[in-house]
Structure formats: C-alpha cells, structure tokens
Amino acid sequence: MPKEYRLTDFLPTTKKETDLRGWDYVDVVLFSGDAYVDHPSFAGAVVGRCLESYGLRVALVPQPDWHGDYRDFKKFGKPRMFFAVSSGCMDSMVNHYTAGLRKRSDDAYSPDGKAGFRPDRCTTVYTKILKELYPDVPVVIGGLEASLRRLTHYDYWDDTLMPTILATCGADLLIYGMGELPLKEIATRCKRGESVFGMHDVPQTSYIIEGNKIPEYDGETFELFPHFECVKDKMKQAKNFRVIEEESNKMEARRLVQRIDKNHITVVNPPFHVME
C-alpha cells in the first residue's frame, strides 16, 4: 500500500502548516528560488532537512513573490536565529538567459517548467527585501549564486567587474560550496545562544568587516589585490582568480582577504576538511 502523506511530513511552507505542528516560533526561515519538492535534487529540501536534523524548527518559502507588499517574506515573521537565502540549484542569471543574452522560455525548477517565478539576481533581491523588513535579523546566503560571487567577479550580463555579493546584497554571512558542515556549526552555536552576527570564525564562510585593519588569525592569510585595483587592471583580477581557485581545492587552504574599498574588507575563511 502506498503511504498516505500528511502535511506535517513535509517542511512547512505556510503558517497553517506550522500551526499544525503546534509551533509558536520558527528558528530558521529558508527562502529558495526553486519550487519545493522534497527530493535531494532540490537544494532547498536538502538544506531544510539538514537544518531540521540539527534540531531546528525550519520553515521554507519557495519562490516568494518579490512584488507588491512582500507578504511571502512576512508570513512567518522573525525567526529566532536567522534567515537563510539561496537562488536554488541554478544561478538565476543562467536560469533566465542564454549565452547569447536571449531570454529563456522555461525553468526546470519551477511548476510545469514555467519561467518567471524568480527574479534576476535572485539572492540579492531576496536579501535586500529581508534586510528592509527585518534589519536586526541575520541573513545567511549560500548556494551556487552566492558561492561564485564571494569575491570580485566578472559579471557577464553587465560586462563589468563586481565586488563580493555581500557588498551588494547586505547579507551578514556567506556559505560557499557544499553547506552541510558550515550549517551544522552555525546551528550548533546558535542553539548555544550565539548570534550569527559574531560568527566570523566558521570555516567555509565569508563576511565583510568595516575598517582597514585585517583581523587576526591563527593560520596563514593571503591578501588578494583590492577590488578597486582589479577594476582598473585585468591582470590583477586574473592573478586573483588563480589564487582563489587553487585555495578552494587545497587540503590545507589559506584564509583569503580582499579590500573592497578603503573602509571595507572581505574575509573568506578556509573550507572545512573533505567529508569522510
């Protein structure tokens, strides 16, 4: 006999579903540019289930409406710990446009394959709305879109060099690569009462600090060419890119830092060790 599923078998996506569980609060609200299908091929489901397995109450908002009154961003209110944002399994710009800059007519991660359920630069749009509505709540971003933009990067669509996505979207912490281990440490520390705002030592994360002094660190740090110099000199950006890729694939990587301007520095902590 096939199993008869109940709403409480899935991650809650509506206030009604949290009420069915008897929840009067949510620890993490996860926003995803993909639809919600409870299957490992959908990143939102994987991240949500990981957070759930760490003992957190997780609500998922798939493909929120970013127009109008932002009701999808308000329906769960403030989470106890943080908001989590991902564009989904694909970079939203690749999802929307071909290499010839033609608009795509379908979206494999949306209902019925229809396009138009997520905005361009999805992670940035969602994060800016959350920061506008809840400036005092930490926002953690992750996924492919954020990972590729954690430092100065070339934007194909605008044909220009852009700074870290942290500078453009206003998020407080960025997880790059596979997020299970960083999320586990963040969740564990949040349960102990720590705030994401102060978690600057979690491996495989990135953040921005104000000022011109590089924070102390026990391991080795490599300082990349500043963003404002890369904008003027393509060779400096090329050299940065090589270092970033090499450090991303080392067993013992260095911490990377990059000055965005005279008063802001991006810090990228080394990744976790490879999972066993």
How distant is the alpha carbon of residue 172 from its chain centre? 10
Which pLDDT does position 5 carry in this prediction? Answer: 67
Among 3-17, 109-123, 210-224, the range scoring the smallest mean pLDDT is 3-17
What letter would DSSP give residue 194?
-
pTM assigned to the model: 0.94
In tens, the pLDDT along 91-112 reads 999 999 999 989 999 999 999 9
Mode of pairing for the β-strands spanning 28-32 and 58-62 = parallel
Which residue in this structure is represented by tokens 């979207």? 169
In tens, the pLDDT along 19-44 reads 999 999 999 999 999 999 999 999 99
Task: With CA atoms as reference, report the closest residue to 97 among 70, 118, 69.
Answer: 118
The verdict on residue 170 lying in a domain is: yes
Question: In one letter, which amino acid is 152?
Answer: T
The verdict on residue 27 lying in a domain is: yes
The enclosing domain of 125 has a CATH number of 3.40.50.2300
Which residue in this structure is represented by tokens 């127009």? 67
The verdict on residue 23 lying in a domain is: yes
- DSSP, collapsed to helix, strand or coil, labels residue 146 as helix
Domain extent for 110 = 7-209
Task: With CA atoms as reference, report the closest residue to 59 among 90, 87, 20.
Answer: 20
The verdict on residue 240 lying in a domain is: no
The verdict on residue 275 lying in a domain is: no
Task: With CA atoms as reference, report the closest residue to 270 among 169, 35, 250.
Answer: 250
How many structural domains is the chain composed of? 1
Mode of pairing for the β-strands spanning 205-210 and 264-268 = antiparallel
Upper half-sphere CA count for residue 260 (Cβ side, 13 Å): 21
Residues contacting residue 194 through CB under 8 Å, at least 6 positions apart: none
The verdict on residue 243 lying in a domain is: no
